[in-house]
Every structure is written in structure tokens, then in C-alpha cells.
């Protein structure tokens, strides 16, 4: 940190360096989250054939719903990118609007996923049915839980943005959120490929 | 109604054992005493303002230190109970199931609630000061980490009097830890106690990684950083890679028990070996996570008390980083005998032996540093010297265990018990105690008494060899671990009994060593030599350049670093008459205290307790509370402030006035 002359610019600098520190910390948090998903994927890889004679991925998964989910989540990643553009242009209203669109898409994704789970459970394929389904619900469910947490966070940020506008702090927060959202997208692509595509093939 | 309450109480509270009644009484009396003292001396607001809501890394470090020493006591009592039971054949002191609970809680507490927090205590007390930083990267998160650890530890310890202790071993292998074999709540206490504190540990790993990467004083390049900070960096990286695996493993075990999932069960496609692999992918690096900082401490201590630069700085750094990578590729040496192919065993046997090489390099570097140095045998140095032979022998027996075919003989025998205690006590405990003695004057402003310290040291050391050397022999004689008793035939005819008796005597000697330390601390609080210079040992690194105890902002002026051993350089310059350039004080940016970490951790505790007993009416509000606290933090913007220049001037004048 250089030695600033006036107290104001000094304060400003101290703050800014704290904000960039928080972005770095968030990246490392993402690394740990990748490890969490990596471990869950490994468990799924070991257990996905352990159906104990019950139906496997091929019999259970309905691809149209999953493809719709994928499409929705990819679109939401795009709209969160548009939100970032608005942020950099300093347009609060636009930013909040794009975040709202992103949130609606995220909620639609969760709705579809819950629907998929409910249908499976009603047919009698529960988390307790066999090891394959345990691994499936846990892996996909953990991703879904992450999306839900992202939604709550997004709403909290929309409120903060409408109150405070674009500041150093809110900029950092939106940056982290968008990082998180893209990360969930990437994880979903792996889920889609490993669980669904390779499952039904 | 009355019947229902009685029945509930009889399953909820653990009863029927004098030890547990004793614990109940002790808990109640201690709680009453604490409440009384705090109220009588009107200390509640002080406690709340100065400690519970603090974000000062030095205070957080002190709280970690106190908690971990208490846990050392609890784990030590467990150890003595076990050794008493094994002292003679056919002892009737502990029942089989009670013995299982005791070795489980002993192992878990020692590693997760003693070694880890003692390590975090030193991280917090030392790293920012060594780096010339005013704080850690995320002070709020730091406080949260501490409270999560404490709540997790409390939850785990509660199992002793409420519901029943876990008894499936410190790593909880299934199927033992599954509902089918452990239907009680003990296993749930294990899962949630570790899960909650584990989240805190992970956060600490992230915090110190960023602190070390980003908060160093200007001019302190990575290769000018003190070796203790390097060891913390290495340990933090391992935490970041290992703890997420633990989080997932425990979560899956919980799903098995809670929702009837089948990850590790024996039926419906579950695979217990999956658990064994996962837990050791965390467990093996965990051993290095706790031991590497001890290496860092020894490097500081040896250099300071030999009045020499550390020998082979670069090779020290390199070997620590190498260990932190290779430690992730050795996990299967914990189950050589469980039917992997020969090729798999060979890979893990070789990778395990490879770790011995960088470790050996370090030992030689310490020896070369001492060679021709002006050595003072102070307390930190004493523990370091005690460590070296202990660790060398422990390392050698470790390599013996790494020989896969031979492991078929030693596996789960007392030979193994002797080996890992040699590394854990000789390496981790001796190491952290050396660190505690070394930095104690910096933290508290006085030295710990030398004479009592020597008694403690020799009790621990002699006790250690008396306790564990016979166990190598017992291992060869066929005594297996987790054995709660043995008959007169094996005891007297095969000769186990004399060796076991000797071993128990050794354990009690270590207990006496601990008592000496408690005495030493309470004596020194009143009479210990005060440290008025801030640099009682003639230190080399930046933490010794400021008054003891350090002011809340650590450094009134940010130090500018040009070499390694930065403070040594300043002292040399001063001796040559080179005056430091005059500096202007500036307001210092500090984080504000916050109650959120504490409150959030209490909610975690509530949620954990609810999950332990399968009480959703309690678990769900707990989780909602956690989420509420996160939102509350997200909405709070007024989180920092500035210390004005005149206040810094006043503080410094007071401190230096006392100092000079
Ligand atoms: C202070 C002196 C200590 C004594 C006398 C002692 C004694 C014992 C004994 C008797 C056992 C049970 C052996 C068996 O029946 O299987 C045991 C297990 C264990 N100890 Fe210690 N111990 C001490 C310190 C430590 C420390 C400092 C640590 C770790 C930092 C530690 C970690 C463990 C672990 C992980 C186990 C295995 C528990 C299990 O089998 O699940 N111990 N110890
Ligand atoms: Cu290992």
C-alpha cells in the first residue's frame, strides 16, 4: 500500500485492497467447492452400477426435461453475464433487471429438477432404494442446493443494490455472485454429461 | 406422562457409571462457578466485548490456546483410563463397550480438538506478526472459524453425558459406524461435532493462505519469509485440498444414517471400502497438516537459539512444499492388507517412503544450524532437542510400516500404536509446546518459569519412552490395538503383563508432566519474568520488533523488509549506528467487532444437536438461524473504522515507555 496523503484517499485505498482480497478468497472457496463436487462425482462413478438389480440410469432418466433444465441454466449464465456488463457500465436499474431475469431462470431450473425428483420418488425410486440412487440424488441434489443458495443471495443483493447503488462493495459482491453462478453452470455441464448423457447412452 | 418423562430422561442422560456421574457433577459445578464469578465481578460485558465478539487475531489465538489445552486434558484423561485398564491382565476397570467409547473419543479429541486448535492458536498468534501485517486477510471469518471449532468440540464432548459417546474408532469405519451396528446417537455426535468444526478449519486454511500470499509487509518476497510462515502456507494448502473430502465423507455417512442411503452400507449396493478410501484421502494429509507447522517452529527455534541463520533455507521450503504434495498420494498405506492388487500396494509403499527423504533433509538442516552455533538451552530449545531423536525413531518405524508385505505382520498391532504416538507426541505435541514456550512472552508479556518447565519436560520425555517403547515389543508379541483386556495366559505366560504395566507407568509420568505445566503457567502468571524488551530471546523475525504483548494494530508503522531475518538486520544496522529513517504515523484501518460469528455458531450448534437426535423441530430453526446470520452479515456495511493518529501515539508512548 502506498502512502497516500489525504485521509480520504487513504481510506479509499485500504478499502479497495480489502475488496480485491475478498474476490481472491472467493476464488479459493470455489476451488474447495470443486473438490466437494469432485468427490461426489467420484462416488457416483464408483456406485452408478450398484443398482442392486433395480432399474439403472437408462430406464429412469427422462431426457426432454433434463435438456430443458440445461437450456434454462445456460441461458441464466448468459443473463448473469449481461448483468455484469450493466454493472461495468454503472447502470443500476439494468443490473437489477438482469439479475431478476437470472433469478427467475434459476427458479425455473429448480422447479423442473424438483419435479423430476418428485416423479421418480412417486414411482418408488428413492434415495434409500439402492446405492446408485443414493449417489444420484446426492450429487444432483447438492448442485440444486447450491443453486437455491445462489437464489437467496441474488435476491439479497438486488435489495442492497436498489438501496445503495453501485459501490466498491456491491461491485465486489456482484462479481463474486456471477463467478459463483458461472461455476454452477460448469458443474451442471459435468452433471449433464456424466450422469444423464452417459447414463442413457 | 410421568412415565414418558422418566423414560426419555433415562435414554437422554447417560447414567449408570461413576465416571459419568463425576463428569455430570463437574460440569454443573464448573458452570455454576463460571456464572457466579462472571456475575460477581461484573465481567459479562467485558467477556462479550473483549472476547466473544472480538475479531483480533491475537485474542482469537489465545482462545484457541485455552480450548486446546483443556482438550489435551480431556484426551489425556481418556488415555490414562485406557492405560489403567490395560495395566494388568483381567482388569475390571472399564467394560468392553466403555473402552471402545474411550479410545474413540481419545483419538478424535487429540487430533481434531487438541492438535488442530493448538496449531490454529499458533497460526493466529504468530503469522500476522511475522509477516509484518496488521491482521489476517478476513478477520470476521477468523472469528467465525474459532466459534465453529468451539461449538463442534462442545457438541462432541457433550456425548459423554448426553445420549452416549461414539465408539466406532476415531475414523468411524463402516459398517461399525452405520445404523445397523451403531443405532445410538453417539455416531451422530461424531459426525456433527467434526463437521461443524471442520467447516471452521477449512475457512482457516483459506484465511491463512490469502494472508500469507497478500498481507506480507512491503519488500518481504516469498523467499524472504520466515520458515514458520512457510510451514503455515504448506499446511493451509493441504487443508484446502483435504478438508472438502472430509466434509463430503461425513455428509454421506450422515445420509446413510439419516435418510437410509446406501453409500457405505453392506446391503443394496453400498461399498464400505469407498469410505475407507475417502477417509484416508483426508486422514493421511491431516497427519502432515498437523506436523508441518511443528517443522516450521523448530526452524525458528533452532535459528534463534543457535544465533545463526537457518542452514539450507531453500531446501527447507522445497521439502515442505514437496511433502504437502506427496502426502496426497500415500493414503492407501493405511490398508495394505485389505485386498488391493500388488501393484497398488507397491505404488503406495514407494510414495510413502519417498516422504522420508525431504523429512530427513530437514533434520540434517537443523543439525547443521546448531553445529558451531552459540547454543542456549532454553525451554523452546529443550523441546526441540527432545523432538529430534523421538521423530527420527518414529520415522524409522514408519518406514518399517510402509513395507507392504511386512505390514501384514504389524497391521493394527501395538507396533502401530507405538509408531504413531511417537510421531504425534514427539512431533506434534513437543513441537507445538516448543512453539508455545517460544512465543508465550510475545503473547502474554512474561516468560514461563524455567525450573518448573524443566520438570515438565523431563516428565513428558521420560514418560514417553517408558510408555511407548514397550509397545513396540508388545506389537511383535501379538498384542493388537483396541484390545480392552487380556487373560492371565497371555499376560503372564506370554509376558504381556510386565510390559503393559511399565507402559502404564510411563503414561502417568506424562500426566505428571502435564500437571507441572499447569503449575508452571499459574505460577508464572504471578511470578514469571516480565518481558520488557519485546525481544526476550534475541529473535530474528519481525514479531520481536514490537512490544509484548502487541498492541491491537500490531505495527504502528508498516515495516519495510529488505532481507530475510528482517529484525536481525535492523538490529545489526543499529549496532553499526545506522539510524532508521523517521516515519510519520497514519490512521490505521481496523475491522469492527461483531457478534455474528458467535451467534451463527450457536445456531450451528442448535442445528447439529437437532440432527443428532433426529429432532427436526430443532434442526430446521437452527439452519434458518444460520442463514439469517449470513444475511445479516451481507446487509451490514458498517464493518470497519480507523484508529486516529493521536490514539496510536498514546498507545505507543505507553507501551514503549514501559519497554525502554
Ligand atoms: C499423552 C499420552 C498418550 C497416551 C498415554 C495415549 C494412549 C493411547 C492408548 C492407550 C490408545 C488406545 C490403543 C488401543 O487400545 O487401540 C490410544 C489410541 C490413540 N491415540 Fe493416544 N495417547 C496419548 C496421546 C495421544 C496424542 C497426543 C494423540 C494425537 C495427537 C493421540 C492419538 C491417538 C489416536 C488417533 C488413537 C487411535 C484411536 C482409535 O483406535 O480409534 N494420542 N492412545
Ligand atoms: Cu498415512
Distance CA(B619)–CA(B243), nearest Å, equals 24
DSSP state at residue B13: B
Average pLDDT over residues A79-103: 97
| Cβ distance of A32 and B243 shorter than 8 Å | yes
- 485500504: which residue's cell? A14
| Closest C-alpha residue for ligand 1 atom 12 | B103
Q: Using the atom order of ligand 1, give the atom closest to the CA of residue B514.
A: 1
| Residue A16 confidence (pLDDT) above 70 | no
A69-72's contacts with Cβ under 8 Å and 24+ in sequence apart are A69/A109, A69/A112, A69/A113, A69/A116, A70/A188, A70/A189, A70/A192, A72/A105, A72/A108, A72/A109, A72/A112
Positions of chain B with pLDDT lower than 70, given as ranges: 657-660
On whether any CB of chain B is under 8 Å from the CB of A145, the answer is no
Q: Are B510 and B498 in contact (CB under 8 A)?
A: no
Distance between alpha carbon B99 and the CA centroid of its chain, in Å?
24
Count of residues making up chain A: 201
Peptide bond into B549 cis (omega under 30): yes
Ligand closest to the CA atom of residue B326: 2
Distance CA(B503)–CA(B83), nearest Å, equals 8
| Cβ distance of B259 and A127 shorter than 8 Å | yes
| Residue A6 pLDDT | 44
* C-alpha distance from A64 to closest chain B C-alpha (Å): 27
Ligand closest to the CA atom of residue B285: 2
What's the CA-to-centroid distance between B163 and ligand 1, angstroms? 24
| Residue A10 confidence (pLDDT) above 60 | no
* Sign, Cα dihedral of B589, B592, B598, B603: negative
Q: B68, B81, B110: which to mutate for ligand 1, most atoms within 8 A of CB?
A: B110
Q: B86, B106, B484: which to mutate for ligand 1, most atoms within 8 A of CB?
A: B106
Q: Is the pTM of this model over 0.80?
A: yes
Q: Are B390 and B422 in contact (CB under 8 A)?
A: yes
Write the secondary structure of B177-206 as one string of H (helix), E (strand) and C (coil): CCCCCCCCCHHHHHHHHHHHHHHHHHHHHH
Query: For residue B141, which residues of chain A lie inside 8 Å, CB to CB?
Result: 25
| Cβ distance of B642 and A11 shorter than 8 Å | yes
Peptide bond into B498 cis (omega under 30): no
Judging by beta carbons within 10 Å of its beta carbon (0-12, 13-18, 19+), is residue B377 exposed, middle or buried?
A: exposed
Q: B75, B102, B103, B456: which to mutate for ligand 1, most atoms within 8 A of CB?
A: B103
On whether any CB of chain B is under 8 Å from the CB of A5, the answer is no
Q: Which residue has the higher pLDDT, A71 or B403?
A: A71
Distance CA(A193)–CA(B12), nearest Å, equals 47
Average pLDDT over residues A65-93: 96
* C-alpha distance from A65 to closest chain B C-alpha (Å): 25
Apex CA B201: angle with CA A41 and CA B429, to 5°?
120
Apex CA B165: angle with CA B163 and CA B167, to 5°?
135
Q: Are B322 and B358 in contact (CB under 8 A)?
A: yes
Ligand closest to the CA atom of residue B351: 2
Count of CB atoms within 10 A of residue B243's CB? Answer: 26
Mutate to test the interface with A, among B144, B209, B269 (most CBs of A within 10 A): B269
| Cβ distance of A43 and B269 shorter than 8 Å | no
Query: For residue B202, which residues of chain A lie inside 8 Å, CB to CB?
Result: 32
| Residue A9 pLDDT | 53
What residues contact B627, with CB distance under 8 A and at least 6 apart? Answer: A152
Instruction: Look up residue B191 and give its three cell numbers.
Output: 459426525
| Residue B578 pLDDT | 85
Count of residues making up chain B: 660
| Residue B656 pLDDT | 76
* C-alpha distance from A174 to closest chain B C-alpha (Å): 12
Q: Using the atom order of ligand 1, give the atom closest to the CA of residue B115.
A: 30
Judging by beta carbons within 10 Å of its beta carbon (0-12, 13-18, 19+), is residue B6 exposed, middle or buried?
A: exposed
| Residue B407 pLDDT | 86
Residues lining ligand 1, Cβ inside 6 A: B 76, 79, 82-83, 103-104, 106-107, 110-111, 115, 169-170, 417, 421, 424-425, 428-429, 467, 481-483, 507, 510
DSSP B446-506: BPPPHHHHHHHHHHHHHHHHHHHHHHHHHHHTTPBTT-----HIIIIISSHHHHHHHHHHH
Q: B76, B79, B111, B411: which to mutate for ligand 1, most atoms within 8 A of CB?
A: B79
What's the CA-to-centroid distance between B425 and ligand 1, angstroms? 10
What's the CA-to-centroid distance between B176 and ligand 2, angstroms? 21
Q: What are phi and psi of B595, to 5 degrees?
A: -90, -10
**Residues whose Cβ atom is located within 5 A of ion ligand 2:** B 284
DSSP B528-576: SPB--SS-TT---SGGGGS-SSPPTTS-SS-----SSSHHHHHHHHHHT
Residues 49-108 of A with CB under 8 A from B: 50-52
Instruction: Look up residue B23 and give its three cell numbers.
Output: 463428569
Categorize the per-residue pLDDT at A3 as very low, low, confident or very high, splitting at 50, 70 and 90: very low
Q: Which residue of A has its CA nearest to B641?
A: A11
Distance CA(A103)–CA(A174), nearest Å, equals 13
| Residue B519 pLDDT | 97
Distance CA(B513)–CA(B511), nearest Å, equals 5
In order of A127, B346, B537, B547, the CA distances from B542 in angstroms are 56, 46, 13, 11
Q: Are B517 and B459 in contact (CB under 8 A)?
A: no
Radius of gyration from C-alpha coordinates of chain B:
25
H/E element, B590: strand B588-591
Q: Which residue of B has its CA nearest to A138?
A: B252
DSSP chain A: ----SSHHHHHHHHHHHHHHHHHHHHHHHHHHHHHHHHHHHHHHHHHTT--TTS--HHHH--HHHHHHHHHHHHHHHHHHHHHHHHHHHT-HHHHHHHHHHHHHHHHHHHHHHHHHHHHHHHTT--TTT-HHHHHHHHHHHHHHHHHHHHHHHHHHHHHHHHHH-S-HHHHHHHHHHHHHHHHHHHHHHHHIIIIIIHHH-
What's the CA-to-centroid distance between B475 and ligand 2, angstroms? 19
| Closest C-alpha residue for ligand 1 atom 23 | B79
| Residue B29 pLDDT | 87
In a 13 Å sphere around the CA of A130, the CA atoms on its Cβ side amount to: 16
| Closest C-alpha residue for ligand 1 atom 7 | B79
Distance between alpha carbon B252 and the CA centroid of its chain, in Å?
25
| Cβ distance of A35 and B214 shorter than 8 Å | no
Q: Which residue of A has its CA nearest to B638?
A: A169
Query: For residue A15, which residues of chain B lie inside 8 Å, CB to CB?
Result: 589, 640
In order of B70, B131, B309, B330, B584, the CA distances from B431 in angstroms are 18, 21, 20, 23, 40
Amino acid at each position: 500500500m502506498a502512502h497516500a496523503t489525504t485521509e480520504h484517499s487513504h481510506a479509499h485505498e485500504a478499502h479497495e485492497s480489502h475488496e480485491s482480497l475478498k474476490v481472491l478468497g472467493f476464488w479459493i472457496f470455489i476451488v474447495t467447492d470443486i473438490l466437494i463436487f469432485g468427490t461426489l462425482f467420484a462416488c457416483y462413478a464408483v456406485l452408478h452400477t450398484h443398482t442392486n438389480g433395480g432399474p439403472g440410469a437408462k430406464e429412469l432418466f427422462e431426457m426432454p426435461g433434463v435438456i430443458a433444465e440445461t437450456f434454462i441454466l445456460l441461458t441464466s449464465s448468459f443473463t448473469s453475464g449481461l448483468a455484469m456488463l450493466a454493472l461495468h457500465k454503472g447502470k443500476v436499474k439494468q443490473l437489477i433487471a438482469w439479475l431478476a431475469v437470472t433469478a427467475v431462470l434459476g427458479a425455473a431450473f429448480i422447479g423442473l429438477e424438483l419435479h423430476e425428483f418428485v416423479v421418480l420418488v412417486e414411482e418408488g425410486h428413492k434415495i434409500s432404494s439402492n446405492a446408485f440412487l443414493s449417489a444420484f440424488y446426492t450429487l444432483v441434489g447438492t448442485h440444486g442446493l447450491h443453486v437455491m443458495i445462489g437464489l437467496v443471495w441474488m435476491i439479497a443483493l438486488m435489495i442492497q443494490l436498489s438501496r445503495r447503488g453501485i459501490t466498491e462493495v456491491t461491485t465486489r459482491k456482484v462479481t463474486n455472485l456471477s463467478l459463483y453462478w458461472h461455476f454452477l453452470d460448469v458443474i451442471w455441464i459435468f452433471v449433464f454429461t456424466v450422469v444423464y448423457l452417459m447414463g442413457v447412452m | 406422562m410421568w412415565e414418558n418423562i422418566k423414560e426419555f430422561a433415562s435414554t437422554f442422560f447417560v447414567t449408570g457409571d461413576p465416571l459419568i456421574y463425576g463428569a455430570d457433577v463437574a460440569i454443573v459445578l464448573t458452570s455454576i462457578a463460571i456464572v457466579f464469578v462472571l456475575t460477581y465481578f461484573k465481567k459479562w460485558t467485558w467477556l462479550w466485548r473483549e472476547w466473544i465478539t472480538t475479531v483480533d487475531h491475537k485474542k482469537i489465538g489465545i482462545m484457541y490456546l485455552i480450548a486446546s489445552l483443556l482438550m489435551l486434558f480431556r484426551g489425556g484423561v481418556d488415555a490414562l483410563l485406557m492405560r489403567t485398564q490395560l495395566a494388568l491382565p483381567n482388569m475390571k476397570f472399564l467394560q468392553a463397550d466403555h473402552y471402545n467409547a474411550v479410545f474413540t473419543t481419545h483419538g478424535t479429541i487429540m487430533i481434531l480438538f487438541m492438535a488442530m486448535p493448538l496449531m490454529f492458536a499458533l497460526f493466529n498468534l504468530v503469522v500476522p506478526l511475522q509477516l509484518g501485517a496488521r491482521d489476517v486477510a478476513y478477520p470476521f471469518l477468523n472469528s467465525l472459524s474459532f466459534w465453529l471449532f468451539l461449538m463442534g468440540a462442545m457438541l462432541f464432548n457433550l456425548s459423554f453425558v448426553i445420549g452416549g459417546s461414539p465408539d466406532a474408532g476415531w475414523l468411524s469405519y463402516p459398517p461399525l459406524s452405520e445404523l445397523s451396528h451403531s443405532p445410538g446417537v453417539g455416531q451422530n455426535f461424531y459426525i456433527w461435532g467434526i463437521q461443524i468444526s471442520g467447516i471452521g478449519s477449512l475457512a482457516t486454511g483459506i484465511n491463512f493462505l490469502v494472508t500469507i500470499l497478500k498481507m506480507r509487509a512491503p519488500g518481504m518476497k516469498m523467499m524472504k519469509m520466515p520458515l514458520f510462515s512457510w510451514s503455515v502456507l504448506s499446511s493451509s494448502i493441504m487443508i484446502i485440498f483435504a478438508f472438502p473430502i472430509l466434509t463430503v465423507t461425513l455428509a454421506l455417512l450422515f445420509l446413510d444414517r439419516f435418510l437410509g442411503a446406501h453409500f457405505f452400507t453392506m446391503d443394496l449396493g453400498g461399498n464400505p471400502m469407498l469410505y475407507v478410501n475417502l477417509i484416508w484421502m483426508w486422514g493421511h494429509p491431516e497427519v502432515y497438516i498437523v506436523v508441518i507447522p511443528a517443522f516450521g517452529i523448530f526452524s525458528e527455534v533452532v535459528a534463534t537459539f543457535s544465533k545463526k541463520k537457518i542452514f539450507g533455507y531453500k531446501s527447507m521450503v522445497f521439502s515442505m512444499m514437496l511433502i504437502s504434495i506427496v502426502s496426497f498420494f500415500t493414503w492407501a498405506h493405511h490398508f495394505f492388507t485389505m485386498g488391493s492388487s500388488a501393484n497398488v500396494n507397491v505404488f503406495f509403499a514407494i510414495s510413502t517412503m519417498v516422504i522420508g527423504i525431504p523429512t530427513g533433509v530437514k533434520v540434517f538442516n537443523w543439525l547443521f544450524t546448531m553445529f558451531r552455533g552459540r547454543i542456549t538451552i532454553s525451554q523452546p530449545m529443550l523441546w526441540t532437542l527432545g523432538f529430534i531423536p523421538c521423530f527420527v525413531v518414529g520415522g524409522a518405524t514408519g518406514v518399517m510400516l510402509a513395507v507392504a508385505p511386512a505390514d501384514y505382520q504389524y497391521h493394527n498391532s501395538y507396533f502401530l500404536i507405538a509408531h504413531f504416538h511417537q510421531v504425534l507426541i514427539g512431533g506434534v505435541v513437543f513441537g507445538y509446546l516448543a512453539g508455545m514456550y517460544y512465543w508465550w512472552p510475545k503473547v502474554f508479556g512474561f516468560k514461563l518459569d524455567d525450573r518448573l518447565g524443566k520438570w515438565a519436560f523431563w516428565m513428558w520425555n521420560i514418560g514417553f519412552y517408558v510408555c511407548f517403547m514397550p509397545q513396540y515389543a508388545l506389537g511383535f508379541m501379538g498384542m493388537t490395538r483396541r484390545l480392552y483386556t487380556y487373560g492371565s495366559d497371555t499376560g503372564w505366560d506370554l509376558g504381556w503383563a510386565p510390559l503393559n504395566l511399565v507402559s502404564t507407568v510411563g503414561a502417568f509420568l506424562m500426566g505428571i508432566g502435564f500437571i507441572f505445566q499447569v503449575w508452571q503457567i499459574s505460577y508464572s502468571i504471578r511470578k514469571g519474568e516480565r518481558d520488557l524488551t519485546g525481544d526476550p530471546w534475541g529473535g530474528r523475525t519481525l514479531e520481536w520488533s514490537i512490544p509484548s504483548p502487541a498492541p491491537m494494530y500490531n505495527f504502528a508503522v508498516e515495516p519495510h523488509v529488505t532481507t530475510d531475518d528482517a529484525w536481525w538486520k535492523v538490529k545489526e544496522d543499529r549496532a553499526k549506528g545506522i539510524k532508521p529513517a523517521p516515519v510519520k504515523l497514519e490512521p490505521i484501518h481496523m475491522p469492527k467487532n461483531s457478534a455474528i460469528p458467535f451467534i451463527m455458531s450457536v445456531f450451528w450448534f442448535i442445528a447439529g444437536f437437532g440432527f443428532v437426535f433426529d429432532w427436526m423441530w430443532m434442526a430446521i430453526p437452527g439452519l434458518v438461524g444460520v442463514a439469517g446470520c449470513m444475511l445479516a452479515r451481507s446487509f451490514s456495511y458498517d464493518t470497519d473504522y480507523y484508529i486516529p493518529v493521536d490514539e496510536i501515539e498514546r498507545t505507543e508512548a505507553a507501551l514503549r515507555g514501559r519497554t525502554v
